[in-house]
Amino acid sequence: MADRENSRVQVFDLEGRYISEWDDVRRPTSICGDGRGTLFVSELGYKKETNPKENEIRSKNANPASRVTLRSDDGSILSEIGGGDDGCAPGNFFAPHMLCTDSRGDLYVGEVVFATHAPKGCHTLQKFLKK
């Protein structure tokens, strides 16, 4: 479960029993699996545009940028997409909120741009091809 305001992902079994949590996330908004063992986590980050009351970074990671992490089922980071300063640049994220994959394993990332005051013309959807 993505717990954005506490900057963690909580993991439960199918009966709802707590298993663990991951605290190396930057305000997670969505989790999606590809059916092949990889989990994708969209992370909003700590920009003042996406959380005006955020006065300091509460994450263990000092980088405040939005990103999508690819993780193993135990939460270990396998790879990262985005994380750059310009959230509207192709391959970076301003406010990623929704993830899904298709039958080929390609990843789609939907973003909230109006409510987060993104610059005009910032992308709302990006597709990443599985290599």
Domain extent, residue 103, equals: 2-128
Q: Quick one: pLDDT at residue 46?
A: 82
Please say whether the beta carbons of 30 and 43 come within 8 A: no
**CATH number for the domain that contains residue 31:** 2.120.10.30
Spatial separation of the C-alpha atoms in residues 38 and 77, rounded to whole Å: 10
What are the pLDDT tens digits along the chain (131 aa)?
A: 999 988 899 999 999 999 999 999 999 999 999 988 899 999 998 876 556 555 555 544 566 789 999 999 999 999 999 988 899 999 999 999 999 999 999 999 999 988 888 889 999 999 999 88
Region at 45 (left for phi over 0; alpha for psi -120 to 50; beta for the rest):
left
Q: How many domains does the chain contain in total? A: 1
Task: Report pTM.
Answer: 0.88
Q: Quick one: pLDDT at residue 50?
A: 59
